Amino acid sequence: MGNKKAEARSTRSGSASDAGSDRDEPSRSTTLAGRNWDRRRFMRSVVAGTAAAALGGVSASGTAAAEEIQLDRSKWVASASSTYEDAGYDPSNAIDGQNATHWRPDDGADEWIEIDLGAPESFYKVEMVAPRSETDDNPLFNQWPDEYEVQVRSDTSEQWRTVATASGNNHTESVRFSTQTERYLRVYKTSDDNNWSLGELFAYDGGSAGGGPTPGTPTRPDPTYEGPPTDPETGMAQYGRWTHSLIGAGGYVTGIYTTEANPNVVYHRNDVSGTYRSDDAGEFWYQVHDGYPARGVSVDPRDEDDIVLVKRDGIYHSSRAGENYQDPDLSVEDLWSHPVERETEFAKPNGTFRGCGNVVARDPNDPDLLVAGAIAGGNDVPCLYRSTDGGATWTNLAGSPSGIQTADVRFDPFNPGTVYVASQPENRTSGQSFEAGLWRSTDRGETWEKLTDDAPVEFRFDPDTDSYLYGTFDPSGGNGSAGTVKRSVDGGETWDEFTQGLSGDAFETMAVRPGEVFVFSGESGYGAKTWRLETGNSSWATYNDGGEDTVDDSEWWDREPAAIADPSAVAFDALDPDQWYMTAAYAIYRSTDAGKQWEYSAKGNEEMVGMSLAADPDPESDIVHAGIADLQYFRLGKDGRELDVHRVPDLMMNQRVAVSPDDPSRVYVGSANYATYNPAMGKICISHDTGDTWARAGVTYDNDDAEGVDEVEGTGADGEPTGLPADNAPWWDLAFAGPPPTRCPVGLSADPTDADHVVAGLATDSIAYESTDGGKTWTALPGTLVGYGDQPGEFWQVFFAKGNQLAISGDGSMIAAPKIRGPAQYYDREAAQWTEAGIPFDGFANPFHVERDPNTDGRFIVSFIDAVGGLYETRDGGETWTKLLADNSYAVAIDQQHPDRIAVASIDEKAILLSIDGGTNWTRLEQLPYLGYGDNMAFSGDRLVVGVAGSSYYTTDISDVLDTSPPPAPTALRSPGHTSTTVDLAWDAVTDPETSVARYDIYVDGTKQQESRDTTATVSGLAESSTHEFAVTAVDAAGNESPKSNAVTVTTDSGADTTPPTAPANLRSPKQTHHSVHLNWDASQDRESSVDRYNVSVDGSKRTETDDADRTPVNGLESDTEYEFFVTAVDATGNESDESNRITVRTTGHPGRGDGSGKGADGNDEDGDGYEDDHDGADEEEARQDRREARNNRRAGGRQR
């Protein structure tokens, strides 16, 4: 952005706080953002149809030319490049109001006349008149340059900016352009011709904030791209090192916003992936802000970069939204403020009413005044907020209603400071209930009056008649469908059905502009059926029948469902009355003929919910298979960079994708419906041609209406339909052995050595299923999943079941990760049972995702979340495990071609971590633009493909992200202390600009001696009175080592060791017999030398000693007798520690018939307590039983190793 804009914003006048009700009327003229905001002029634009906030929160242009206003020339000052011959042709003649006087420059090119307007003024047209006779007003001359430019600038330090180019040939020259708000105006002659005579020069404000071109002949300025860099191959946005994959649809686009400040800039919001911006009138879209979705948007009509967003956690504001990608040093936090924060949910961008209305509005009479609405937060806090400084600061309106679910907010364009808020009663997605109704405030939000309980889903003001409102209404009471249209003629107090001429019952959204009100239908069909109500009429007329010929979606890959499904919002271009925008399910559409024909216009808009990814195992292939919510299966090409094929194999969500290196053309997908049924229904589908065509199982639902089709069709990237022909029905059936046969697969894996061998885990089922004939027949594996506590284990059913819950290796070993329904576990085929994996957690964690290495039998990696989390690897099918990472982790990917490459989505880091050495070192990749971490990932070629929930897919080239730069050297190395054999070291922490510091290496006399994960270390084992040089290096997650720190030289102390060891701790007795007590303790530490032995005292006297580090038996005791014990540690020089804690222990009674040796029958430690077993002979049968159990334990332990 230029300095002019930044400086102008910094001079915004007025207080930065809510002025409250003492401001009865906004001033008539307010200088804001370097531009004049004239309320009177803006109200004329409302009547003309160009005020966004006035017309229901969308911009509109009228169908007739707006009223022109000639700028006052009394303060103008003219200057020029030259004056021909004498002062009689002075440039002031061009603004003196005298027709007979004129300015004439010298002949030739590069001549100009400049006007200082005295202050910034808005104008859209310059008019130049030839000199005329004082007596008959006939032209004296008709001398114009063949070519000239109209130029503007804000101050004399700036370069001139050309806004129009023209040639002269009329008595009166009129040049139109987009509205400019500048102080200086210049007309510049560029042709080398003679004779230019200018009688009078005028400038006009068109009365339209969007400019003044007459309808049908708009003059649009050249767009200025403010977005991120784009990929030269696909044209998609590159957010840092992440490139958005080109697919082109998904999700639900829920609102669209134009602005009078710049007709090229358009914003849209959607239900899952945030706010997007276009700088070229909808040709290309890119993300702004943080990627989280918005429920409401308001763009300042004076500045396209000044925007307010209402999100799930509150209100955000930026006056520099266009600078997000212009300066790499600027972060989101630098450009956006968060003036309203709430821990409880503030708005529901993905709720029932996400595509209805707008929950923030701006007063068309005062663009600094905004009102935003929230949903009730479970308390009595009022739900409405107000800003009086354009969105920078907000005040909770104490007099506003609480307990509501804000659905729509609108200012009354005819009554300044009057604002309406609608609330809906229920939210289907959350099950919450709210107070429904319509409220009005006539004093800028200070006090509120409830007008009616009959709440519109969304509403609009009549553009021509005060107190007339139109609304769509939901007869289902909160199910999110607008079944009828009503009108109010008394300012919203009462509403009557107003449907004459309408048909159907799925009215989704409305839009208004001068003389016209439009309503748009979401009925099933191809396009968007539209009705129009013209001023003075009492009946709607069909405006667009929504037929297939009304939509051009040839640039899109999909034709089913209907191209325009569930329209959510319509906006009118701020300059061209014939250019409209529409948002709907899956895409954005644009019309250049006033809504008669629509074309797909959504490049860059990527908001799919990716469920799973699997790369083609063929090393020569660039294919990535993707399972998607709503839109089923996609095959991506170019290693995930763009769409290759789209198919619809089954139902709604393809939650799992599995492919085997044994036959890469064989692809399995596990598909699920939405949670309409419990358990959720699903299928397994199969392709034998790498995803081109699909077959699926026969369907046997409990509900006959839910039965699916037996053949599938999809479309390729060229839009041509493909799929199975009608006479080629699916050849296989799904025949699960256990009921019910239709539960959705949440775990799916194909044997890497046998493509016919596939295993599946079904939601809410406690068993796994296996097929060895490519899915034709299935067998229930014996054994049920291990659960938590007394609860049986089962594969977890979740609405969006991300994370694979079952995987199989080439040796037949399997791992299950049933999330909150059971621990990670492996399948023991010999015992035919599931066994909990013995992972040494420091607490509790739930498995999230299991990934298998197709190259190594028995190698699996499991991610864990919740209290502890982590990433663990097994290389023996689940019997033993190694911790790779401590982070709570989501998705995991193993590179099939380079198995030491591992990627994991770290919840703790909110980023993807990459290891190229099998998990020893990790590199933190640049944060993704959305959510920060991924739900599914796959390596393909040199790329990592990451799917995020609601923003489709991103790719990054591994070679570009690997860190090869070492961190800086540690500083301030020092020694806080030392002894005769140890030296303590400390240093300042190092920050690695590329990744993170993994450890520090400690060097002694030039040789690496040890490592530290902290910024301190103790070097031990040094000789007395010896001098050593110490240095430290930092090693980052990629293994790069820094230069050495400053050196520190330390000499150890001399003299004998006089320091005793630490006292033994936690003395306890795990076992007693009739003649012995077994003692255990925590070992002592000795920094000077080492612990040599432990003295054991009984009843205050030393009884024995042992060189065992932490245990010993005390024998020869009396039966059924209490004894007191304590232990001390003695080091190599004879220094004895303090006593341990004391414990009192009683020996057992009943000595029995033992041999008195105190040893077990076989001298072994059969019960695993660290001591020889002690059978006293009292019950030989009991001893034999003990031995049998011990042997069984050993056998089981052998299997688990």
Q: What's the rounded mean pLDDT across residues 379-405?
A: 95
Q: Are 819 and 798 in contact (CB under 8 A)?
A: yes
Q: What's the rounded mean pLDDT across residues 599-622?
A: 92
Instruction: Give the separation between CA 1124 and CA 1138, rounded to whole angstroms.
Output: 16
Instruction: Give the separation between CA 124 and CA 115, rounded to whole angstroms.
Output: 15
User: Is the pLDDT at 890 greater than 80, yes or no?
Assistant: yes
Name every residue whose Cβ is closer than 8 Å to that of residue 1180 and which is 6 or more positions away in sequence.
none
Two structure tokens written together for 265: 């800039």
Quickly state the pLDDT bin for 801 (edges 50, 70, 90).
Answer: low
pLDDT tens-digit profile of 485-512? 999 999 999 999 999 999 877 888 999 9
Quickly state the pLDDT bin for 89 (edges 50, 70, 90).
Answer: confident
Helix, strand, coil % over all residues of the chain, rounded to 5: 5, 40, 55
Q: Provide the pLDDT for residue 1083.
A: 95
333 versus 411: which is more confidently predicted?
A: 411
Q: What is the 8-class DSSP label of residue 71? A: P
Instruction: Give the separation between CA 885 and CA 873, rounded to whole angstroms.
Output: 10
The conformational region for residue 281 under phi > 0 = left, psi -120 to 50 = alpha, else beta, is left
Q: What's the N-to-C CA distance of the chain in angstroms?
A: 64
87 class by beta-carbon count within 10 Å (0-12 exposed, 13-18 middle, 19+ buried) = exposed
Two structure tokens written together for 474: 């939901």
Q: Provide the pLDDT for residue 1181.
A: 42
Q: Are 1060 and 1163 in contact (CB under 8 A)?
A: no
1110 versus 1157: which is more confidently predicted?
A: 1110
Residue 274: Cβ within 10 Å count: 25
533 versus 455: which is more confidently predicted?
A: 533
With vertex at residue 182, the alpha carbon angle to CA 167 and CA 78, rounded to the nearest 5 degrees, is: 65
Q: What is the 8-class DSSP label of residue 550? A: G
pLDDT tens-digit profile of 928-976? 876 556 789 999 999 999 998 788 999 999 988 777 789 999 999 999 9
Q: Are 124 and 206 in contact (CB under 8 A)?
A: yes
The rounded percent of the chain whose pLDDT value lies above 70 is 79
What is the distance of C-alpha 943 from the center of its chain? 21
* CA nearest neighbour of 553 among 742, 754, 719: 719
Two structure tokens written together for 723: 């799929």
Q: What's the rounded mean pLDDT across residues 436-449?
A: 97
Beta pairing, strands 682-687 & 695-696: antiparallel
Quickly state the pLDDT bin for 456 (edges 50, 70, 90).
Answer: very high
Burial track 410-440 (b if 16+ CB lie within 10 A, e otherwise): bbbbbebbbbbbbbbbbbeeeebebbbbbbb
Residue type, 700: T
Name every residue whose Cβ is closer than 8 Å to that of residue 845 and which is 6 or more positions away in sequence.
864, 865, 866, 867, 868, 869, 870
pLDDT tens-digit profile of 258-301? 999 999 999 999 998 889 999 999 999 999 988 789 999 999 99
Q: Are 312 and 348 in contact (CB under 8 A)?
A: yes
E strands along 888-1020, which residues? 889-894, 902-906, 911-915, 923-924, 936-940, 943-947, 953-957, 971-978, 983-988, 997-1004, 1007-1012, 1016-1019
Q: Are 693 and 666 in contact (CB under 8 A)?
A: no
Q: Provide the pLDDT for residue 695.
A: 77
Ordered strands of the 806-808 beta sheet: 806-808, 814-816, 825-828, 833-836
Q: Are 983 and 974 in contact (CB under 8 A)?
A: no
**Cis amide bond preceding 139, omega within 30:** no
Quickly state the pLDDT bin for 194 (edges 50, 70, 90).
Answer: low
Residue type, 935: D
Residues in a beta bridge with 1171: none
The pTM of this model reads 0.66
Q: 3-state secondary structure string, 209-267?
A: CCCCCCCCCCCCCCCCCCCCCECCCCCCEEECCEEECECCCCCEEEEEEECCCCCCCEE
Residues in a beta bridge with 155: none
- Could you give all domains of the chain from N- to C-terminal order, each with its CATH number? 69-205 (2.60.120.260), 238-600 (2.130.10.10), 614-961 (2.130.10.10), 971-1049 (2.60.40.10), 1065-1186 (2.60.40.10)
Q: What's the rounded mean pLDDT across residues 192-197?
A: 73
Quickly state the pLDDT bin for 468 (edges 50, 70, 90).
Answer: very high
Instruction: Give the separation between CA 398 and CA 1126, rounded to whole angstroms.
Output: 69
Q: Are 615 and 680 in contact (CB under 8 A)?
A: no
682 class by beta-carbon count within 10 Å (0-12 exposed, 13-18 middle, 19+ buried) = buried
Name every residue whose Cβ is closer than 8 Å to that of residue 293 and which is 6 or more positions away in sequence.
269, 270, 271, 272, 273, 274, 275, 311, 312, 349, 350, 950
User: DSSP string of 1028-1074?
Assistant: EEEEEEEEETT--BPPP---EEEE---S---PPPPPPEEEEEEEE-S
Q: What's the rounded mean pLDDT across residues 407-413?
A: 96
* CA nearest neighbour of 884 among 867, 866, 864, 898: 864
Q: Provide the pLDDT for residue 8.
A: 34
Q: What's the rounded mean pLDDT across residues 1067-1091?
A: 91
Q: Provide the pLDDT for residue 564.
A: 82
109 versus 429: which is more confidently predicted?
A: 109
Beta pairing, strands 286-288 & 294-299: unpaired
Residue with tokens 């960079």: 641
Instruction: Give the separation between CA 766 and CA 937, rounded to whole angstroms.
Output: 27
In whole angstroms, how far apart are CA 880 and each of 857, 917, 1201?
Answer: 14, 20, 6
Q: What's the rounded mean pLDDT across residues 576-588?
A: 92
User: Is the pLDDT at 454 greater than 50, yes or no?
Assistant: yes
Q: What's the rounded mean pLDDT across residues 715-734?
A: 29
Q: Provide the pLDDT for residue 23.
A: 31
User: Is the pLDDT at 517 greater than 80, yes or no?
Assistant: yes
Quickly state the pLDDT bin for 707 (edges 50, 70, 90).
Answer: very low
User: Is the pLDDT at 1154 greater than 60, yes or no?
Assistant: no
What is the distance of C-alpha 1109 from the center of its chain? 53
Q: Provide the pLDDT for residue 147.
A: 82
